[in-house]
Structure 1
Amino acid sequence: MSAGAALLLLADGRFPAGAHAHSGGAEAAVRAGRISDPASLTAFCRGRLHTAGQVAAALAAAANAGAEPAGLDAAADARTPSPALRAVARRLGRQLLRAARATWPAEEWDALAAAHPGGLHQPVVLGLVGRAAGLGPGDVALAACYDAVSAPATAVVRLLGLDPFDATATLAELAPELDEVAALAVRAAEEYPALGAEALPAGAAPLLEIAAEQHADWPVRLFAS
């Protein structure tokens, strides 16, 4: 499989890594009235890209470049105040690892699972899986950025009945920013060996964190997060 095909496979929402069950915070934002139309969806996705998305992209790029997973996982914990979001990130990491075992079989997956029985944050696993698939730091950073915006955009089509063309237009509008954020993430990953966790971005998104805790307590919800 070529690297380009592998990148498309990883970014595809139908890849069986569990992402389809998560809204990226959009479900709570819709209920709170922060997303109600295409313009507010674009604003939400842009904010998520430049905070949680940039953090995820840098973690994925650093893992892909060979940084030690446990250290990156600790950095991810420090950048994720919400216990609910930390649990989601590890659940998605376990699901991605399970998909990787079937798609790109390698002995390293057994060792990784044994060393981290509770799972690693999804961006860290994404970087490792990308390396096994022949992808570089820039590729996995771009995949993480795309995931940061595609999850909410796709979810809002179901949550609001938003026109899918409008949701796709949001992704197209943000495409140049995805490239910019991915490039910043790669530079952070390059500085990580010398500077450690201080090199990694730590953009905060307090409303995402607060809303995630509230969403986790809802008795009825369409998405897991």
Structure 2
Amino acid sequence: MSTTLLLLADGRFPAGGHAHSGGLEAAVTAGRVRDLDDLDAFLRGRLATAGVVAAAFAAAACGGGDVHTLEGELDARTPSPALRRASRAQGRALLRAGRTLWTLSTVERELHHPVALGVVAAAAGLTPREAALTAAYGTVTGPASAAVRLLGLDPYATHALVARLAADCDAVAARAATVDDLPACSAPLLDVMAEAHATWEVRLFAS
């Protein structure tokens, strides 16, 4: 595994990921995630839906796919305006960090996060599969870290959950890098909760 991949996947990379819970804050408030078992189910569900889509789009963008086409395709797969805003906010932050470290192939200032991730990964010299792996990994580590803050969970036990998902992340990345058709796995409840979350006056995370 390259050091560049580790850098891009590091939660301390200044791309704004720490400000987003991936829908977990709304799930916790609704009582759907209360403990480690609930978190495990949430992470697995998120990886199988949003994670699969993010990995595929990151791989496609890293492999030279047209960013405008990918943006339209991802818009069509993101019915929630709140999730579209959150994705582009993270994409802006990632592109800003990427431009500081590498020379990007696009002049776009705003892209969905998975597309921006693919663009930055390509500039960093990563492969589409590595871009996909970074995307898949990020879909579970963000909510896992948020769970420690929101629920006061044991960080060791929480990261043990993430470790048990390693093979699943690898499998998602492998499929994303080899399948030509972009997936459209949906998670309607995440869309509904995102819209509700966006109306809150007080919240710990942006999404």
Query: Considering the TM-score relative to the shorter chain, is it more than 0.5?
Result: yes
Q: How does 1:11-160 map to 2 (within 5 A)?
A: 11-104=9-102, 106=103, 108-109=105-106, 111-113=107-109, 119-160=110-151
Structure 1 pair 214–77 and aligned structure 2 pair: CA distance change class (3 A): same
Cα offset, 1:56, TM superposition? 0.4
Residue number in structure 1 paired with 2:193: 211
Q: Deviations over 1:112-150 (max 9, x none)?
A: 33xxxxx11010010010011010001010000000000
Cα offset, 1:107, TM superposition? 6.1
Q: Which amino acid aligns with 2:178?
A: R
Q: Which amino acid aligns with 1:112?
A: E
> How well do the aligned residues superpose, as a CA RMSD in angstroms?
1.1
Unaligned runs of 5+ in 1: 114-118, 192-198
Residue number in structure 2 paired with 1:167: 158
| Separation in 1, partners of 2:194, 2:153 | 22
SS of aligned partner of 1:108: coil
| Separation in 2, partners of 1:107, 1:62 | 16
Q: Which has the higher helix share?
A: 1
Residue number in structure 2 paired with 1:10: 8
| Separation in 2, partners of 1:107, 1:177 | 30
| Separation in 2, partners of 1:24, 1:77 | 17
SS of aligned partner of 2:165: helix
Cα offset, 1:82, TM superposition? 0.3
> TM-score, normalising length from structure 2?
0.97
| Separation in 2, partners of 1:186, 1:150 | 21
| Separation in 2, partners of 1:147, 1:107 | 21
| Separation in 1, partners of 2:72, 2:65 | 12
- Contact 2:136 2:169 survives alignment (8 Å): yes
| Separation in 1, partners of 2:30, 2:161 | 20
Cα offset, 1:108, TM superposition? 3.4
| Overall identity of the aligned pairs, in % | 58
| Separation in 1, partners of 2:105, 2:6 | 23
| Separation in 2, partners of 1:77, 1:206 | 15
Structure 1 pair 107–126 and aligned structure 2 pair: CA distance change class (3 A): closer
| Separation in 2, partners of 1:62, 1:107 | 16
Cα offset, 1:184, TM superposition? 1.3
Aligned residues: 207
